[in-house]
Structure 1
Amino acid sequence: MSAIRTNDLTKQYGSQTVVSKIDLEVEAGEVYGFLGPNGAGKSTTIAMLLSYVHPTDGTARVLGRDVRKESAEIKRRIGVLPEQYQLYDRLSGRKHLRFAIDSMGASDDPDALADRVELETTAVQRPVGEYSTGMKQRLRIALALVGEPELLVLDEPSSGLDPAGIRLLREIVVEERDRGAAVFFSSHVLEQVEEVSDRIGILVDGELRMSGDLEELKSKAGAAVKLEVETNAVFQELLTAVESVESVTGCAVTDSGPEAPSLSISLSSGAAKADVFRAIEAHATIEDFVAEERSLESLFEQGVAEASR
């Protein structure tokens, strides 16, 4: 059963189409990175999945349930971290957790949840109004984890976190995925999405421009890796050996000078780098090399550029 499945999901406000015919599927036990520039429609999509707003057209099912008809059942089985999550300054962190646990009918230990997000015992007993921005975000993450949800919906979860908090967030996302939960991770911080996501989707102007496995998307968009390799010699037998390596999509001599001849090699998969180096070293000596991997940011920029044409 899919954790999230949408079909032609659409939202219009008057004559403006905010989300247009999105077909999306997220499986249990995977992290799906949901990307898009400001105003792309990410928050509206999440609001429809959570039944905060109703779609104008199309359907959405979460954990096998229709978001329009069975929203109450869905909310009992998911954990949500909205971009803006209201906390109450006068209540302690522990009271926030206790209230959430009781409301969900869960059996979590509030102190164990606080410990998991590295909120110290003294801190969790203090009023939230005394918390720093990062401490408040850690508490919000803990609240989303109440009841061991089958699906975590995280909207800009790293907001306000310091590097240690961001590291912790990544660890929690991976732990939840390994537990079997699905994680829908919406963020504009591309590096964080790339580090934890099994698949990604790029939303631009309300349309899902790209969706799929990150390495596959890199491959479809062009070379995943560019290698510039300096060798002590370049000759046809060497070029043939490199070109025969699976995933090599191009090989050209870029400098044939006697002191530092070099090759420019394109690969569709970063995993093939070791095979390329072995092929070269069977015929020549590698003097130096530079590897440039196609990043998630370049895919994101490509999606935006294609939308503007």
Structure 2
Amino acid sequence: MTVINTTELTKRYNGESAVTELDLVVQDGEIYGFLGPNGAGKSTTIDMLMNYTRPSAGTATVLGLDAQQDASEIHVRTGILPDQFGVYSTLTGREHVAYILDANGATGNPEGILERVGLGNAVDQRAGGYSKGMQQRLGLAMAIAGEPDLLILDEPFSGLDPYGVRLVREVVTAERERGATVFFSSHVLDQVERICDRVGLLSNGQLIAEGTPKDLRDLAGVQTQLRIDTDSDSPSTQAIRELAGVKDVSDDAGQIVVTCPRTACYSVLETLDDTGVNIQSFDIEQGTIEDAFVKLATDS
């Protein structure tokens, strides 16, 4: 089943395009990362999917329903964490989650939901006293309340410390395992790469590339490099040049740089050791989705 489907979706403000002819397909049960810098058009796309703003051209369906004509039904089945989420300062965390459950006619335990996002000790604390990170986690709790079919998370890592970032990843993974589809936008590219099945790279309102993180690294020519320091000015490298997966080997004053998949790094180190090369230290520099984005955006 296709959960999100857009065809030539376009939004213009005063003649300037924020999103241009976006063709996007998100399948049931996948985690899809919608990636790009601030101002790329990610939040505008989400606003059109949720009918917060109307497109200038093109069409969109969500959960098989028309994004404009069936907006109310889509909202009931979708949990959303909007960008720059705000709380009702006089309401407790429990009351925020209970409100969402009631509004969507869903059942659930607010205390248990808040426990999942690390707010178990602040259930009955007024949200006006929450830190920014706690407010963000409250927004996540409200999004997952009622076990929605679709989760849309707009910049979910905003304002979070490393613990909060890891918690978001864990919640997203658990929701996918429950059967939900997760669509989230972020400019924190390295975090999204860890959990996404597929990603779409958005630049200046246009989708410039799409695929698995590996697909995009390969498309951009981003490579993993193994840097090895030895005690020899001219170590023997012929044996590792013949290893499967090794694409390039260079040697400069005893530092060997090998371009190869991460899975081949151990074989390179083992082979050098077997040939008598004394390895003093090594470091693996793996190309990231951020490296791929920069390369693809520049090329586009």
Give the structure-1-normalised TM-score. 0.87
Cα deviation 1:259-294 (Å, max 9, x = unaligned): x3x543223x43333344455555454614332111
Q: How far apart are 1:175 and its partner, in Å?
A: 0.8
Give the gaps of 5 or more residues in structure 1: none
Partner of 1:43: 43
The 1:253–1:129 alpha-carbon spacing in structure 2 relative to 1, beyond 3 Å, is closer
Provide the alpha-carbon RMSD of the alignment.
Answer: 2.1
Q: Separation in 1 of the partners of 2:170 and 2:81?
A: 16
Cα deviation 1:161-197 (Å, max 9, x = unaligned): 2222222111101111222211112112222212222
Partner of 1:85: 85
Cα deviation 1:105-132 (Å, max 9, x = unaligned): 11101111111112134x2212222222
Partner of 1:241: 242
- Number of equivalences: 296
Give the 3-state SS of the residue equivalent to 2:145 in structure 1.
Answer: coil
Cα deviation 1:241-271 (Å, max 9, x = unaligned): 22xx14x3x223423x6xx3x543223x433
Give the 3-state SS of the residue equivalent to 1:196 in structure 2.
Answer: coil
Q: How far apart are 1:240 and its partner, in Å?
A: 4.8
Q: Percent identity?
A: 43
Give the 3-state SS of the residue equivalent to 2:91 in structure 1.
Answer: coil
Which amino acid in 1 is paired with 2:242? A
Partner of 1:173: 172
Give the structure-2-normalised TM-score. 0.90
Partner of 1:137: 136
Q: Separation in 2 of the partners of 1:219 and 1:156?
A: 26
**1:104 has 2:101 as partner:** no
Give the 3-state SS of the residue equivalent to 1:55 in structure 2.
Answer: coil
Give the 3-state SS of the residue equivalent to 2:51 in structure 1.
Answer: coil
Which amino acid in 2 is paired with 1:27? Q
More divergent stretch after superposition (37-46 vs 54-63): 54-63
Alignment of 1:1-309 (within 5 A): 1-121=1-121, 123-230=122-229, 233-234=235-236, 236=238, 238-242=239-243, 245-246=244-245, 248=246, 250-255=247-252, 260=254, 262-267=255-260, 269-280=261-272, 283-285=275-277, 287=279, 288-307=281-300
Which amino acid in 1 is paired with 2:263? A
User: CA contact under 8 A between 2:127 and 2:135: conserved in structure 1?
Assistant: yes
The 1:280–1:148 alpha-carbon spacing in structure 2 relative to 1, beyond 3 Å, is same
User: CA contact under 8 A between 1:157 and 1:187: conserved in structure 2?
Assistant: yes
Q: Separation in 1 of the partners of 2:7 and 2:43?
A: 18
User: CA contact under 8 A between 2:249 and 2:259: conserved in structure 1?
Assistant: no
User: CA contact under 8 A between 1:42 and 1:203: conserved in structure 2?
Assistant: yes
Give the 3-state SS of the residue equivalent to 1:79 in structure 2.
Answer: strand
Give the 3-state SS of the residue equivalent to 1:148 in structure 2.
Answer: coil
Q: How far apart are 1:98 and its partner, in Å?
A: 1.3
The 1:112–1:218 alpha-carbon spacing in structure 2 relative to 1, beyond 3 Å, is same
Q: Separation in 2 of the partners of 1:281 and 1:2?
A: 51
